[in-house]
Amino acid sequence: MAKKALITGISGQDGSYLCDLLLGKEYEVHGVTRDPSKLSSGNLAHLMGIDGIVGHRLFIHTMEGFDGVQMGSIINKVKPDEIYHLAGQSSPRLSFDLPEETLHSNATYTLQLLEINRFLDQPARLFFASSCEVFGKTDEAVQDETTPVRMATPYGAAKAYSQQLVSIYRENYGISCGSGILFNHESPRRSPEFVSKKIARGVAAIKTGILDRLQLGNLDAKRDWGWAPDFVYGIWQMLQEDEIEDYVFATGESHSVQELVDACFRVVDLNWEAHVDFDASLARRVELHPQKGNPSKARDRLGWEQKVGFVEMAERLVEAELKVMRGSPGKSAT
């Protein structure tokens, strides 16, 4: 019998790639979304028209907001073997403007899921998507699973709270659950508010004559940028372990925003300095310590590896946006 998986946030970047992965592994996949009208044009559009997928191996459940009662009904009906909790307000920048939504969607919702799962006759194995934002303004040059949390945003605080809850439920109730501490991971399916998407889309627009200049915030900020499908494979690997623990998923490299800008403009043979303007209003309210994750635990215990490097990532991001700008078949969510 096929395994059943439930994915919250299935229409997002990670949720859609995870859906692709699990379907390829013959899972029965159940996804929760708040807006099913976007499925036909969003990150799952490539699956909507395939015979034998939707309603046969992929089932979409609609839930209004983040409602524990509705979620409990869905989980009790599906009885999943694995739960991948990816949903929630995902922008650290917006978390200052939407603190209550950020807390509820990233923390309260996680607690509700853990409680629902705890009382099942057969609790599911559960993954929680934590974030390198829990480290915030850490003084440690390289961050791993033992690095103390030092949050700098409401988003980071909500993720840290949920990560601790997952550990508490694992240790006190014996539930198989763990957190993936995910450093930045990009793809053409990234939401427009993220800087990688803005840069790649801006470069493509400049190359095709749609845009003259690109406005960006702090170019000196440093991040550990990886490739989303690689990270998603690690997420799946976590739940296949006999004993689930927390893992950092990162590349072990730190690159500035300027380096990403330069790499993207090089794809189209343009000098970034001739096309980029600094806009102070776009800088983060609180700039983080340079991010650099240590993924050695995931490599050693899971056999996980980062396959797509920084330069290739930039190439893929820009080429996907160029296809959209030039009207090629397909869309950026590939």
pLDDT given at position 91:
79
Say if CB 221 and CB 256 are below 8 A apart. Answer: yes
241 flagged as catalytic: no
- Residue in 90, 131, 176, 187 annotated catalytic: 131
Range of the domain at 213: 190-223+255-289+309-325
294 domain-assigned: no
Cβ neighbours for 43, distance < 8 A, ≥ 6 positions apart: 11, 12, 13, 15, 16, 189, 333
Say if CB 162 and CB 128 are below 8 A apart. Answer: yes
Give the chain's domain count.
2
Beta strands in 163-271 (DSSP E): 177-182, 185-186, 214-216, 222-223, 226-227, 247-249, 255-256
22 and 112, same domain (yes or no): yes
Say if CB 249 and CB 304 are below 8 A apart. Answer: yes
Run of H or E residues at 84 = strand 82-85
158 domain-assigned: yes
- Residue in 84, 155, 161, 233 annotated catalytic: 155
302 domain-assigned: no
64 and 165, same domain (yes or no): yes
Q: What angle do CA 320, 324, 326 make, to 5 degrees?
A: 115
pLDDT given at position 59:
95
Nearest to 88 by CA among 108, 72, 116, 61: 108
48 and 196, same domain (yes or no): no
- Residue in 28, 82, 133, 186 annotated catalytic: 133
301 domain-assigned: no
Q: How many helices (H) and strands (E) does the chain have?
A: 11, 13
123 and 160, same domain (yes or no): yes
DSSP 244: -
280 domain-assigned: yes
176 and 218, same domain (yes or no): no
Nearest to 273 by CA among 314, 198, 216: 216
259-285 as b/e, with b when 16 or more CB fall inside 10 Å? bbbbbbbbbeeeebeebbeeeeeebee
pLDDT given at position 254:
97
Taking only the tens of pLDDT, the chain with its 334 residues reads 899 999 999 999 999 999 999 999 999 999 998 877 777 778 999 998 788 898 889 999 988 777 788 999 999 999 999 999 999 887 777 788 888 888 888 899 999 999 999 999 999 999 999 999 999 989 999 999 999 999 889 999 999 999 999 999 999 999 999 999 999 999 999 999 899 999 999 999 999 999 999 999 889 999 999 999 999 999 999 999 999 999 999 999 999 999 999 999 999 999 999 999 988 777 765 566 789 999 999 999 999 999 999 999 999 999 999 999 988 544 444 5
68 domain-assigned: yes
131 flagged as catalytic: yes
18 and 107, same domain (yes or no): yes
96 domain-assigned: yes
102 and 173, same domain (yes or no): yes
298 domain-assigned: no
71 and 171, same domain (yes or no): yes
121 and 215, same domain (yes or no): no
72 and 101, same domain (yes or no): yes
Q: How many CB atoms lie within 10 A of CB 42?
A: 18
3-state DSSP percent of the chain in helix, strand and coil, to 5: 40, 15, 40
The domain that holds 168 is classified in CATH as: 3.40.50.720
Q: What is the pTM of this model?
A: 0.94
Angstrom CA distances, 66 to 105, 109, 110, 119, 310, stand at 6, 6, 10, 19, 35
Q: Taking the mean position of all CA atoms in its chain, how far away is CA 259? A: 22
90 flagged as catalytic: no
178 and 195, same domain (yes or no): no
Q: What angle do CA 42, 214, 88 make, to 5 degrees?
A: 35
The domain that holds 216 is classified in CATH as: 3.90.25.10
145 and 21, same domain (yes or no): yes
